[in-house]
Structure 1
Amino acid sequence: MASEIDELRQLFTGQPRPTSWAERRQRMDDICAIDPPPEDVTFTAFDIAGLPAEWSLAPGSDETRVLLYFHGGGYCSGSIRSHRAMVGALGKQAGIRTLAIGYRLAPEYPYPAALDDALAAWRFLRSQGYAPEAIAIGGDSAGGNLTLATLIALREAGEAMPAAAWLVSPWTDLTMSGATLDSKAAVDPLISRDYLNGLAQAFLAGRDARDPAVSPLFADLSRLPPTLVQVGSSEGLLDDAVGIARALGAAEVPVVLEVWPQMIHAWMVWAARLADGRAGLAGAAGWLRAQFALRTG
């Protein structure tokens, strides 16, 4: 009898990987949004000076606390739609509001377009009266990279840090030096070295992949907020996640690293069909609640 994770792998490998950017984006939206979001969560679409954005709020949630979420997709794919179910479920379980944005994608908009959009979303929340300690920032894969880039930019600008950061399967090293890109290649149905190289080239547009601005593994991580890192043991980016947790800890940042056995890249996107996806979200929700309580009482 096939396990839940094996059935999910079959879903990904049943069709050849698309080649054009348009096909890749459509495929990611379709495969990530295969399950609907929670029925009792209200989603409200709007824009921030032309930047697509979406609130989510479940009944009884605290509107004064918010998670700003950046979707994954290698900076070239992904959308508000692709991650709606995951973001809505997290907000519901944490009892907070969420804000997801559709930041600009490469290759049409390489670095630093996504970072500019992320900072615009942060400024929007601040303009709406949210204090830094009432905001958490999170993201998966490239969205984890963008989360760290945003935090570093805020620190460099002298701004107060948010309450917490949540990194799911983060892509932190665009030089692709992690050994697990090769050692996990046979069990990771989503991520491969060649695939990531293509995404990195589109995003970097000639920029050095070792630049800390694009590879936060090599950045000064001091004075960042408490961070939760969640990663699957069966994904190529395992070393990226372990490496950034080690680097955060070395920089005296409070960090929790969770490695989930047999889980694949960004497995919590498919929490509706994975018990460990639901458990991972529940754990993240509890951790975020605790961090908000520490900062805001």
Structure 2
Amino acid sequence: MGGVPSLRSRALSVALIATGRRRRFASAEAVRARVAQTARRPASHLPPRSLGRIAEVSRAFVGAWPVYDISPRGSEAVAQVLYVHGGAYINELVRPHWSMIRTLVARARARVVVPAYILAPRGTADRNVPVAADLLSGLIESGGAGGTVLIGDSAGAGLALAAAQRLRDRTGAQPSRIVLISPWLDVTMSHPAQPDIERADPLLARPGLAEAGRLYAGTLAADDPRVSPLLGSFEGLAPLTVFTGTRDVLTTDSRELLRRARADGVDVEFHEEAGLPHGYPLLPVPEGRVARDRIVDLVRAAAEL
């Protein structure tokens, strides 16, 4: 665990509180209003035009999913990444996601495959997990450049982990490594430590998250492992790297993952940063830069496998 958070990180948390970002998850009604707004005016998931300066960008469809394929311009990729974005299952790709993807392409020299998966309530776990597992399977089977790293942040980490579990059950195949950034792995929001942590969280609140989780669960129970992969088996999964911060109400998911995965014999590299909020590896703060450096190193290491 890191020590005192940097001045920039503390200032960012203050700014997030001041702008009222947590109101988006303050209640089930707030989440339903957000979903209704998105249904009326769908948000764009298009990559920024600036990405084309350093990468070859193409798009195909896997079923109803637009899937972006992004490779370094002018050189061969040395590894491949499946990147599954966060957003509580109700929000599209946004600028911090694309910034991370740019880092993976430019610095890790990776081919990055990015699904713009169908959002809840249309996109539910019983529909999305099999498609994500198929994407992961296809990347692993294709071989391509180097190894395959599965990366997910927040809700995307939950979908990524559930896809890895499904693929393990189906064929036993696994990526070279699974990287989970501030993962949301248990949508029941029932951990007894969460109320205390929530008071210091500048971004997230349990009522809205529970509603977003309910929408994503669809007809499944919230504790079904397809919805909440923390409650599934970790046996036979690829090595895991996890990043979390102590001002994140979801840090309990990361701590439980550490305990359960190691009990199932899985190697876990665990990074918990004191005083950092949800998604800090995607943020423009010193601790985020250190986390991104580590992720780049992990992807480069996959190229040597």
TM-score by length of 2: 0.82
Please tell me whether the aligned partners of residues 66 and 134 of structure 1 are also in contact (alpha carbons under 8 angstroms). yes
Secondary structure of 1:167's counterpart equals strand
- The residue that corresponds to 2:115 in the other structure is 101
Secondary structure of 1:261's counterpart equals strand
Residues 20 and 130 (structure 1), Cα distance of their counterparts in 2 relative to 1, 3 Å cut: same
Q: CA deviation at 1:81?
A: 5.9
- The residue that corresponds to 2:67 in the other structure is 53
Give the aligned CA root-mean-square deviation in angstroms: 3.1
- The residue that corresponds to 2:99 in the other structure is 85
1:262 aligns with 2:275: yes
Residues 292 and 54 (structure 1), Cα distance of their counterparts in 2 relative to 1, 3 Å cut: same
Q: Which amino acid aligns with 2:194?
A: L
- The residue that corresponds to 2:241 in the other structure is 228
1:7 aligns with 2:12: yes
- The residue that corresponds to 1:210 in the other structure is 223
- The residue that corresponds to 1:189 in the other structure is 202
Q: Which amino acid aligns with 2:281?
A: M
Secondary structure of 1:117's counterpart equals helix
After superposing the two structures, state which structure 1 stretch, 255-264 or 71-80, moved more.
71-80
- The residue that corresponds to 1:173 in the other structure is 186
Q: Distance in 2 between matches of 1:27 and 1:182?
A: 33
Please tell me whether the aligned partners of residues 48 and 124 of structure 1 are also in contact (alpha carbons under 8 angstroms). no
Number of residues paired by the alignment?
Answer: 288
1:289 aligns with 2:294: no
Q: CA deviation at 1:168?
A: 0.5
Q: Distance in 2 between matches of 1:119 and 1:182?
A: 33
Q: Distance in 1 between matches of 2:244 and 2:124?
A: 26
Q: Say which structure, 1 or 2, has more relative contact order (CA 8 Å, 6+ apart).
A: 2
Secondary structure of 1:21's counterpart equals helix
> Which of 166, 169, 182 is residue 153 of structure 1 equivalent to?
166
Please tell me whether the aligned partners of residues 71 and 105 of structure 2 are also in contact (alpha carbons under 8 angstroms). yes
1:278 aligns with 2:284: no
Q: Distance in 2 between matches of 1:62 and 1:221?
A: 34
Residues 179 and 26 (structure 1), Cα distance of their counterparts in 2 relative to 1, 3 Å cut: farther
Residues 142 and 61 (structure 1), Cα distance of their counterparts in 2 relative to 1, 3 Å cut: farther
Residues 63 and 253 (structure 1), Cα distance of their counterparts in 2 relative to 1, 3 Å cut: same
Structure 1 residues not aligned, in runs of 5+:
none
TM-score by length of 1: 0.84
Q: CA deviation at 1:171?
A: 1.0
Q: CA deviation at 1:27?
A: 11
Residues 9 and 239 (structure 1), Cα distance of their counterparts in 2 relative to 1, 3 Å cut: same
Secondary structure of 1:68's counterpart equals strand
Q: CA deviation at 1:45?
A: 3.2
- 1:208-249 alpha-carbon deviations (Å, 9 max, x no partner): 222222222221110100110011121001110111121111
> Which of 16, 20, 23 is residue 34 of structure 2 equivalent to?
20
Q: CA deviation at 1:54?
A: 1.4
Q: Distance in 2 between matches of 1:259 and 1:27?
A: 37
- 1:46-98 alpha-carbon deviations (Å, 9 max, x no partner): 33344211122335765252110111112222327661111221333322111
Q: Which amino acid aligns with 1:122?
A: L
After superposing the two structures, state which structure 1 stretch, 37-46 or 75-84, moved more.
37-46
Please tell me whether the aligned partners of residues 61 and 92 of structure 1 are also in contact (alpha carbons under 8 angstroms). no
